[in-house]
Amino acid sequence: MVFILARRDDVRMPDPNSVSWQMHADPTMWIAGIASLYLQALHPRAVAGVVQNSNFQADPLGRLKRTADFVGLGVYGTDEEISTAAARVRATHRNLRGVVDGRTFRVDEPELLLWVHCSEVSSFETVLDRAGYGLSGRQKDLYYAEQRSAAALVGLHPDEVPGSRREMAEYFDRMRPVLRRTPDSDVIYDFLHGPPVQGWVRHGLPVYRVLVGHLAYSVLPDWALELHGREPYKHADQWLRLMRGAALLVPGKIRRLAPPGHLKRAIERHGKHVTPSKARLP
């Protein structure tokens, strides 16, 4: 697989008229993002690279924020912001190594970068769909095609990345024999159910564990739940729709104040006419 520089002329980033621009503003993206981390953890080398190199246990909120920051930046950031962030991520990954079964590997191997990308975007699409966001089949395919730009930012060639629902399903079918539960995936499972936060934030952990941590786990694909081996919530989709409905009662102006704030700044740059709306879906 060929590595490329971020923002090549042939890579079209999502814009205010894209599916990504509208969809990534939905509050359910937070649940979908956490679900994607459970999914990523089922690849033995991908999860080993995280556990062996990341400080997520010492800085749990910072790790989650940085992940959300990069995802949001890829849709709502400026060209310069996206290019700078992508170069920083690639440079960091270039220097990291992991060890599985006595063999050393680079964490920026194309197979691992592709696994992380596909875990993310498929979780975003499927979880929002289960929450009732309501994309048509054509719009879902457009979303996967648009998100090839995000894969390009970390060094993948867009043509090598699934760009439709069919291609994404075929990719996961090919990957299934590689995936399994490991001690490292258990570490991630425990972390996402109860991040070791300090101070007053720790008092909210019981609520987080019930409403976010285990709900995000419960909306994984059935085959991923089987590999993780823990019981999901029954009627998880109903809970997910209730959570989304409650979040949408909060005015958009207030929701956009939450960090990292890329959407708020994008609206300030372009004007209120680019405010995400399902009515603007292509």
For residue 85, the tally of other CB atoms under 10 A from its CB is 18
Task: Say how far apart CA 238 and CA 243 lie, in whole Å.
Answer: 9
By percentage, how much of the chain surpasses pLDDT 70?
A: 94
CA-to-CA distance for 274 and 85, rounded, in angstroms?
23
CA distance 29 to 127: 8
Bridge partners, residue 105, by sequence = 98
Q: In what helix (H) or strand (E) does residue 187 lie, and over which residues does it extend? A: helix 183-193
* 20-47 pLDDT per residue, tens: 999 999 999 999 999 999 999 999 999 9
Q: Is 96 helix (H, G, I), strand (E, B) or coil?
A: coil
Distance CA 160, CA 232 (A): 33
Say if residue 260 is preceded by a cis peptide, omega within 30 of 0.
Answer: yes
Q: How many CB atoms lie within 10 A of CB 168?
A: 21
For residues 128-132, give the mean pLDDT: 97
Regarding beta strands 97-100 and 103-106, do their DSSP bridges make them parallel or antiparallel, or are they unpaired? antiparallel
Kindly report the average pLDDT of the chain as a whole number.
90
User: What is the pLDDT averaged over residues 249-253?
Assistant: 87
d(CA 270, CA 16): 9
**Spatial CB neighbours of 275, under 8 Å, sequence gap ≥ 6:** 252, 267
Residues 6+ apart with CB under 8 A from 51: 184, 187, 188
**Upper half-sphere CA count for residue 121 (Cβ side, 13 Å):** 31
* Of 168, 179, 171, the residue nearest 229 (C-alpha): 179
* Average pLDDT score over residue span 245-253: 90
Put simply, whether the predicted model's pTM sits higher than 0.85 gets the answer yes
Which tokens is 93 given?
A: 């990954």
What are the E-state strand segments in the chain? 97-100, 103-106
As given in the structure block, the two tokens for residue 150 are 């995000």
Query: Which residue, among 173, 215, 175, 171, has the nearest Cα to 193 in the 3D structure?
Result: 215
Structural tokens at position 60 = 């749990």
Average pLDDT over residues 158-162: 94
Confidence category of residue 143, pLDDT binned at 50, 70, 90: very high
d(CA 167, CA 209): 33
